[in-house]
Amino acid sequence: MWNHSPRLAVSAAFALNGTLFGTWAARVPAVVDRFNLSEGALGLLLLAMGIGALVSFPLAGGLADRRGAYQMSCALAVMYLASVVAIGLAPGVYWLAAALFVFGAGHGAMDVTMNSWASEVERASGKSIMSRFHAMWSLGAGIGAAGGWLATGLSVSLEAHFVMSALFSALIYGPLMRVTWASRRSTPGQSTPLFALPRGALVLVGLVAMCAGLGEGAAADWSAVYLRDVIGTSESQAALAYATFSVTMVAMRICVDPLITRFGAARVARISGLFAATGYLIALGLPSLGFALTGYVLMGIGYAAIIPLAFSRAASDPDVSAGKAIASVATLGYGAMLLGPPAIGFIAEISNLRVSLAMIGVMALLIAALSGHLRRP
């Protein structure tokens, strides 16, 4: 009864993953206030989340190859949903750290498996559609962030908000993920490395993904804090930063595939890196709500295509299986997305938040410099 097209099912998986991440990102200031966290303490909690993801990447890549990317995506979605509820119900900082570790592991592992599944569907379609799947992630993140803005405005507690977000995601996206799909599986004799790192040509692909991951992670975990604490906006206005970033990512990812086909992956990536760097220049150099949101629009345009391009390049690598290749690139890309924010917190602790975010803007220029390595072999 609930058997949908493969494209719709993959899109639902991406949207579910994004919605839960957006829910967390929008309520970071509320978590800070609830537990009275300093920037350094928040950085340590985000580090726990990042470590959870790093641990999960190689395991998820191996499981996707052996047991099927589709099957593992569905199983990991359940774990990810449960972790969101655990964050909302955490009674203390140590429980919160444990919940964030599981949250990071669920988020990271599902990212690997659903991208591997998406690459299978992309190959079967014969078209470049990876960015559209990532658009659904950004759409979900925007929905999660908008829900955070609404919950903040209505003074909904963290507990109620996170439980409702998990229930919403399970009931809306879960049925849409049901599909008849036979994922490719490796033979039982193939082994999976304990820790996935890119090698050969994938090293520079991973480096580009790392720069993009740093930018996306900074937008997710520090945009609301930057607007509230540095610019001086209200908490509800601060939640608009990540929502603006995510909506822009959605719009760009929906239309970027034809641009990639026409102009090539390298040129699109080069221009994208310049857009992202310009966004940081405006947001940090002209600290007001309007200019900050304009900067996050440019960042959304700039980062939209990079991770999809990196994963498409990894999945087409002639020497490494799709699951392992995506896991290795994700180690740098999503590892940076999750471990970069705590580093921002540590740097902000000894300098200030504007300085630490400026360093992420400089990294965006590296995307432009290394853009040629995203061409498919």
Look at residue 346 in the predicted model and tell me its pLDDT: 84
Look at residue 85 in the predicted model and tell me its pLDDT: 95
Count CB-CB contacts under 10 A for residue 61: 32
Three-class DSSP labels, 321-332: CHHHHHHHHHHH
CATH 1.20.1250.20 at 6-180+196-374, yes or no: yes
Q: pLDDT category, 121, cuts 50, 70, 90?
A: confident
Look at residue 126 in the predicted model and tell me its pLDDT: 76
Look at residue 189 in the predicted model and tell me its pLDDT: 47
Look at residue 377 in the predicted model and tell me its pLDDT: 67
Task: Give 76-106 pLDDT, tens digit per residue.
Answer: 999 999 999 999 999 999 999 999 999 999 9
Mean pLDDT of the chain, nearest integer: 86
Look at residue 186 in the predicted model and tell me its pLDDT: 60
Token pair 């799909």: residue: 181
Q: pLDDT category, 196, cuts 50, 70, 90?
A: low
Q: pLDDT category, 193, cuts 50, 70, 90?
A: low
Check if the beta carbon of residue 144 is closer than 8 Å to that of residue 16.
Answer: no
Mean pLDDT of 33-55: 85
Q: Please determine, for residue 67, whether its predicted confidence score (pLDDT) is greater than 50.
A: yes
The CA angle 347-350-351, to the nearest 5 degrees, is 80
Q: pLDDT category, 361, cuts 50, 70, 90?
A: very high
Look at residue 183 in the predicted model and tell me its pLDDT: 65
Q: Please determine, for residue 1, whether its predicted confidence score (pLDDT) is greater than 50.
A: no
Mean pLDDT of 145-156: 87
Mean pLDDT of 177-199: 64
State the Cα–Cα distance between residues 178 and 59, nearest whole angstrom: 24
Q: By mean pLDDT, which of 49-53, 65-69, 251-255, 280-284 is the weakest?
A: 65-69
Q: Please determine, for residue 276, whether its predicted confidence score (pLDDT) is greater than 90.
A: yes
State the Cα–Cα distance between residues 198 and 326, nearest whole angstrom: 9
Torsion of Cα atoms, 324 then 276 then 45 then 140, to 10°: -70
State the Cα–Cα distance between residues 43 and 46, nearest whole angstrom: 5
State the Cα–Cα distance between residues 94 and 208, nearest whole angstrom: 34
Look at residue 220 in the predicted model and tell me its pLDDT: 78
Q: Where are the domains of the chain?
A: 6-180+196-374
Task: Give 337-351 pLDDT, tens digit per residue.
Answer: 767 877 888 888 888
The model's pTM is 0.76
Q: pLDDT category, 139, cuts 50, 70, 90?
A: confident
Q: At residue 297, what is the residue type?
A: V
Task: Give 11-43 pLDDT, tens digit per residue.
Answer: 999 999 999 998 998 888 888 888 888 877 887
Look at residue 55 in the predicted model and tell me its pLDDT: 84
Check if the beta carbon of residue 272 is closer than 8 Å to that of residue 306.
Answer: yes
Mean pLDDT of 175-191: 68
